[in-house]
Amino acid sequence: MKNRHASSFKTSTRVRWVEDEKQQKMVTESATTSETLLEGELAHYRVKDSYSLHWGTSTELMDFQVISAAKKAMIFIVLLEGKLDFSYDDLRFEINACDEPVGVAVNLTKPATFRRVVKKDNRVTKLKIVLPIDWVTERMGRNVMSKRLSASI
């Protein structure tokens, strides 16, 4: 982890996902142009008002810095291939799975600005699990209550 520093990469606060039969693409969105940032075989699964899973393999097509908002959540990332450079506010992560898989866990106790650096020719295979803080707290509370009830019987 390192402190955030200024990037010379192009930056976009608006991106969208485009799907075709074989792959998904992350595309920048502006009033005049549209550029593909990455493409690959990606999937996601979201349980309503609950956790979400994101996984797959993508190839980054240009140097770019994506900026978006992140909600309060516990986030687990398992990187199987490639490199990731991202941050939440001033907490920066640079992880590298070129030699072996690596993982990271992030606990966002408040909403944060998310930044991800996309680097040309970087091939990434990863799994990301996002657990909303409220969802985790609710389940921990139930578990604690269940243990108290069973201990008192």
**Strand spans (E) along the chain:** 10-12, 15-19, 24-28, 36-46, 52-60, 64-70, 73-81, 83-88, 91-96, 102-108, 112-118, 123-132
The tens place of each residue's pLDDT in the chain, 153 residues long, gives 444 445 555 555 566 656 776 666 666 666 566 778 888 898 889 888 789 999 999 999 999 888 888 889 999 999 999 999 999 999 999 999 999 999 999 999 899 999 999 999 999 999 999 999 888 888 777 655 455 444 544
DSSP state of 90: T
Q: How does strand 10-12 pair with strand 64-70?
A: parallel
Q: Pinpoint the alpha helices (H) of the chain.
A: 133-152
User: Cα torsion for 3, 135, 129, 13, to the nearest 10°?
Assistant: -50
